[in-house]
Amino acid sequence: MMLRALPPASASPTAALPRMATRAARSGMGCVPSQMGPRLMGVRSFSTDPLAAETLSPPPGEIYTSEHLAIQDSIRRFVQKEINPHVDQWEAAGIFPAKDLFRKYGALGFLGLTKPVENGGQALDFTYSVAAAEALGEADCGGVPMAIGVQTDMATPALARFGSADVRRQFLTPSVSGEMVACLGVSEVGAGSDVALLTTSATKDGDDYVINGGKMWTTNGEQADWMCCLLNTSPAASAAEVHTNKTMVCIPMDTRGVSVSPRLDKLGMRSSDTVQVTFENVRVPQAFRIGDEGKGFIYQMHQFQEERLFCAAGALRPMQKIIDETAAYCSQRQVFGKPVLANQAVRFKLAELKTEVEELRALLYRAVAKYTAGDDVTLLASMCKLKTGRLARRVSDSCLQYWGGMGYMNETRVSRFYRDHRLFSIGGGADEVMLEIICKLGGLAPQMKGKK
Amino acid sequence: MITRSAAHSRVHRTFSRHLKVMVGVKRVIDYAVKIRVKPDKSGVETANVKMSMNPFDEIAVEEAVRLKEKKVATEIIAMTVGPTAAQEQLRTALAMGADRAVHVVTDAETLPIHVAKLMKAVCEKESPDLVILGKQAIDDDSNQTGQMLAALMDWPQGAFASAVSIKDGGLEVTREVDGGLETLAMKLPAVITADLRLNEPRYATLPNIMKAKKKKIDKFTTDELGVELKQHLKVLSVEDPPKREGGAKVESVDELIDKLRNVAKVID
Ligand SMILES: Cc1cc2nc3c(=O)[nH]c(=O)nc-3n(C[C@H](O)[C@H](O)[C@H](O)COP(=O)(O)OP(=O)(O)OC[C@H]3O[C@@H](n4cnc5c(N)ncnc54)[C@H](O)[C@@H]3O)c2cc1C
């Protein structure tokens, strides 16, 4: 499925301006990295606002201005103070206090980076989400950054872009301030990789939808106030129609007929609550629909692009940290009369992994720069997600090995990431699903006879 | 001890004029970075190293912002001496709540006396009522600039402040000294330097980060301020701290004392 990057949230006050001007005005930058000619690369550009202090544009190959760096700094401090001291406790409890934490994080404005100004956001471009995802990687677990990501970049992008002013006021504004916790309902017991197979359905009754079915592996589900739910608003009469019979609806989780299973017991991401949700004659106003009926699948495919780029960005810092911590441990741990790191096989392995993390970063920044410039990046985003899943597994597995018995202990961070990072190859589209997309868009799929 | 509201009203009475606060901001290697000495021993490696605002300066900025929130201060000017890139740290101060900034742009090595003289020049332009600096910078640990500035301006000083309040139109500064707390009363204008326990700096909020880039940064060269950066010191060599050697176990207290006396030579 080829998709163009969609325009920024319609309510943004600058939405009417041409894309380039919008971005420049927002970030104070004169030009966008992907559109800088080689001549312009590295040249500092100045804002058109004469009063504004100059913004240092990103160095070549990077995507962050000084504002991005300032935001990252603030987020890292938040993580160090408000998240990390509590992670062990949250991991043991199998849940973190989303309401409390989101309210604090929302008060700083970071739940609304890319969201429309009228909903309390700053209407910044997607590079800011990526910067935030990277900074959240400072957390000592994967679960809390993932939960924040669901709120900011997985359950809300479609609402921000296509939701009516009313539905945004009702669900987006409180999700930006942190008063409400959001969850995303796409996967079902019978439809994970093959999203089109989902069976949750809504029938119309007066001004309402009546919803039946259920969702599986719902992150934040236990604490969520509302769900961005993908469901069928008409039966698919033919195979082609599975892409056009779907609609996105905001479902308040306290609506009668919504029930939430006991928390699911997981291998990793233990700070994050995951549940199964069941809908039995759940009645919500049709006004809670996001955008148009029948466009839900397209919206979700678009939402997936941001989810996948967010996932890649979030994995960078933890991988870097694990590699560095492993090197530090191995330089003091003695085996056969010398530090573990004195073995070339060990440090070469770490050097190679470090190189691959930078490869992923380069691919991510390129994808993000193209995406913010308005290009379709389905192919690159899928490659990012694939590489993230694969690499995160290799980094945590290889590093854990060099910690020996300590690596197998729950007290070391490497073992937590070994469990947490295993998800990246499954959640948000499994590696194989990414490979299928890459085959299709990269011209590697066989031509099927008699099939379009 | 005066209550906050008492301080308020008294301040309003005393300062009908605008109380201007200047804070010093230094760009240093981030506290979390593992410092590496350059191979030629001329200094420490700063290329491709994360730089941040000196943590004590953050405390100074925070204190100024709190004075403004209490309506004691009406304007906060952040000032730095450093390369173009030091603008990032000014921006951080602006995002925390400073109103505008002064950047003395120089790539030269600066000693505390240079910075103090440049600050004096800026004080003469801006006439702040209060200057708050960090007690020291975590790179050179000099702990001199605030004291030198106070001397150059002939202003009272309260170094290592762990509490600051406005009292009777002047300042009351609590300092941590050996054996307890010392409380000083001083008139304004004055210089104070922030100790670790003065406050806990805030994280900048997103709206304030975005607003910060609209705030004004005035730039000066050292020549424009009429300060010559004369080098009084020459760095001969910068070395890593000695590597820690593995310890040894002693069998008895007597042996320990013997080792301390004859091997480590720390007692006699
Ligand atoms: C911790 C956690 C949190 C989650 N949070 C959410 C959430 O908040 N909201 C939500 O909607 N979903 C969520 N999910 C669901 C997640 O997106 C799905 O698990 C994922 O998309 C895979 O779907 P599935 O589990 O049904 O696997 P299946 O579709 O059953 O696939 C099983 C395996 O088959 C293989 N496979 C699939 N397709 C192909 C192919 N074309 N070729 C070859 N092999 C293939 C893959 O290896 C895949 O892993 C979460 C999952 C977990 C584990």
Nearest to A67 among B85, B87, B209 (CB): B209
Distance between CA atoms of residues A336 and A357, nearest Å: 31
Closest CA relative to residue B187, chosen from B153, B160, B162: B153
> Would you say residue B92 has pLDDT above 50?
yes
The pLDDT value recorded for residue B246 is 76
Question: Which residues of chain A are within 8 Å of residue B87 when distances are taken between CB atoms?
Answer: 53-54, 56, 66
Q: How far is B123 from chain A (nearest CA, A)?
A: 22
Helix axes A413-420, A378-402, angle to 10 degrees: 140
> Would you say residue A332 has pLDDT above 90?
yes
Output A285 or B1, whichever has higher pLDDT: A285
B83 upstream amide cis, omega within 30 of 0: no
Nearest to A53 among B92, B207, B216 (CB): B216
The pLDDT value recorded for residue B18 is 63
In the reported structure, the alpha carbon of residue A401 is separated from the centroid of ligand 1 by a whole-number distance in angstroms of 27
Cα-Cα end-to-end distance for chain B: 47
In the reported structure, the alpha carbon of residue A247 is separated from the centroid of ligand 1 by a whole-number distance in angstroms of 21
The residue written with tokens 């990295």 in the block is A33
Decide: B106 and B222 in contact? Cβ < 8 Å. yes
> Would you say residue A11 has pLDDT above 90?
no
Q: Is there a contact between A53 and B217 if contact means CB atoms under 8 Å apart? A: yes
| Closest chain A CA to residue B205 | A108
The pLDDT value recorded for residue B19 is 87
A303 Cβ inside 6 Å of ligand 1: no
Percent of chain B exceeding pLDDT 70 equals: 93
List CB contacts of B18: < 8 A, sequence separation 6 or more: B74, B75
Among A230, A426, A437, A438, name the best residue to mutate to test ligand 1's pocket (greatest count of ligand atoms within 8 A of Cβ).
A426
A269 Cβ inside 6 Å of ligand 1: yes
What confidence category does residue B141 fall into, taking pLDDT thresholds of 50, 70 and 90?
A: very high
The pLDDT value recorded for residue A247 is 98
Q: For ligand 1, atom 25, which residue shows the shortest CA distance?
A: A192
Decide: B166 and B83 in contact? Cβ < 8 Å. no
Distance between CA atoms of residues A284 and A208, nearest Å: 5
Burial class, B162, CB count within 10 angstroms (exposed 0-12 / middle 13-18 / buried 19+): middle
Q: What is the DSSP letter of B243?
A: P
Does A30 contact B at CB distance below 8 Å?
no
**Tens digit of pLDDT for each residue in A212-232?**
999 999 999 999 999 999 999
Question: Which residues of chain A are within 8 Å of residue B88 when distances are taken between CB atoms?
Answer: 56, 66, 69-70
**Tens digit of pLDDT for each residue in B212-262?**
989 999 999 999 999 999 988 888 999 988 887 778 888 999 999 998 998
Q: How far is A435 from chain B (nearest CA, A)?
A: 36
C-alpha B162 chain-centroid distance: 13
A19 Cβ inside 6 Å of ligand 1: no
> Would you say residue A42 has pLDDT above 90?
no
Among A146, A152, A186, A193, name the best residue to mutate to test ligand 1's pocket (greatest count of ligand atoms within 8 A of Cβ).
A193
The residue written with tokens 């007929």 in the block is A257
From the candidates A67, A134, A188, A307, which is the catalytic residue? A307
3-state secondary structure (DSSP) of residue A388: helix
**Tens digit of pLDDT for each residue in B164-177?**
998 888 999 999 88
A196 Cβ inside 6 Å of ligand 1: no
Q: For ligand 1, atom 12, which residue shows the shortest CA distance?
A: A187
Question: Which residues are B37's β-sheet partners?
Answer: B44
**Tens digit of pLDDT for each residue in A92-141?**
999 999 999 999 999 999 999 999 999 999 999 999 999 999 999 999 99
Task: Tell me the average pLDDT across B137-160.
Answer: 96
> Would you say residue A434 has pLDDT above 50?
yes
- Taking every pair of Cα atoms in chain A, the longest distance, rounded to a whole number of angstroms, is 79
What confidence category does residue A59 fall into, taking pLDDT thresholds of 50, 70 and 90?
A: confident
In the reported structure, the alpha carbon of residue A424 is separated from the centroid of ligand 1 by a whole-number distance in angstroms of 10
Give the mean pLDDT of chain A.
89
A149 Cβ inside 6 Å of ligand 1: no
The residue written with tokens 């499954």 in the block is A426
Does B252 contact A at CB distance below 8 Å?
no
Output A391 or B7, whichever has higher pLDDT: A391
What confidence category does residue B263 fall into, taking pLDDT thresholds of 50, 70 and 90?
A: confident
Q: For ligand 1, atom 7, which residue shows the shortest CA distance?
A: A218
C-alpha A212 chain-centroid distance: 27
Does B86 contact A at CB distance below 8 Å?
no
> Would you say residue A23 has pLDDT above 60?
no
The pLDDT value recorded for residue A450 is 56
Report ipTM (2 d.p.).
Answer: 0.79
**Tens digit of pLDDT for each residue in A142-181?**
999 999 999 999 999 999 999 999 999 999 999 999 999 9
**Tens digit of pLDDT for each residue in A244-279?**
999 999 999 999 999 999 999 999 999 999 999 999
- Spell out the alpha helix ranges (H) of B135-175: 145-153
Q: Is there a contact between B214 and A52 if contact means CB atoms under 8 Å apart? A: yes
| Closest chain B CA to residue A54 | B213
Task: Tell me the average pLDDT across A31-58.
Answer: 42
Please confirm, yes or no, whether A325 is among the known catalytic residues. Answer: no
Among A183, A187, A307, name the best residue to mutate to test ligand 1's pocket (greatest count of ligand atoms within 8 A of Cβ).
A187
Distance between CA atoms of residues A129 and A309, nearest Å: 9
The pLDDT value recorded for residue A447 is 79
| Closest chain A CA to residue B210 | A67
Distance between CA atoms of residues A260 and A279, nearest Å: 9
Task: Tell me the average pLDDT across B94-100.
Answer: 97
In the reported structure, the alpha carbon of residue A426 is separated from the centroid of ligand 1 by a whole-number distance in angstroms of 5
Token pair belonging to A336: 């056969």
Decide: A11 and A117 in contact? Cβ < 8 Å. yes
Pairing status of strand B20-24 against strand B75-82: parallel
Q: Global pTM? A: 0.85
